[in-house]
Amino acid sequence: MNIRLIFILLGVILWGCERTPPPPESAGSYFSLDNYFGKEIERLNLKQPLVEKTVKKNDQQEKRSLKELDWAVELKAFKSSDINKPAWRNSYSADSTEGSVVYTATEDGLRVRTIRIRQNPEGRILSIVIERAEENYLYTSNELLKYYPDSLYFIERHQKVRVLGPDAFQVSGRF
pLDDT of residue 26: 47
What average pLDDT does the chain have?
A: 89
The reply to whether 12 falls in a domain is no
Q: How many domains does the chain have?
A: 1
The reply to whether 126 falls in a domain is yes
DSSP 49-113: --EEEEEEETTEEEEEEES---HHHHTHHHHTT----GGGTTSEEEEEETTEEEEEE-STT-SEE
What secondary structure letter does DSSP report for 39? H
pLDDT of residue 21: 40
More confident residue, 129 or 17: 129
The reply to whether 10 falls in a domain is no
pLDDT in tens, 60-114: 999 999 999 999 999 999 999 999 999 999 999 999 999 999 999 999 999 999 9
pLDDT of residue 13: 53
The reply to whether 122 falls in a domain is yes
Domain coverage including residue 74? 30-174
pLDDT of residue 130: 99
The reply to whether 8 falls in a domain is no
What pTM was computed for the model? 0.83
The reply to whether 3 falls in a domain is no
The reply to whether 53 falls in a domain is yes
The reply to whether 129 falls in a domain is yes
pLDDT in tens, 18-61: 444 444 444 458 999 999 999 999 999 999 999 999 999 999 99
pLDDT of residue 2: 57
pLDDT of residue 29: 82
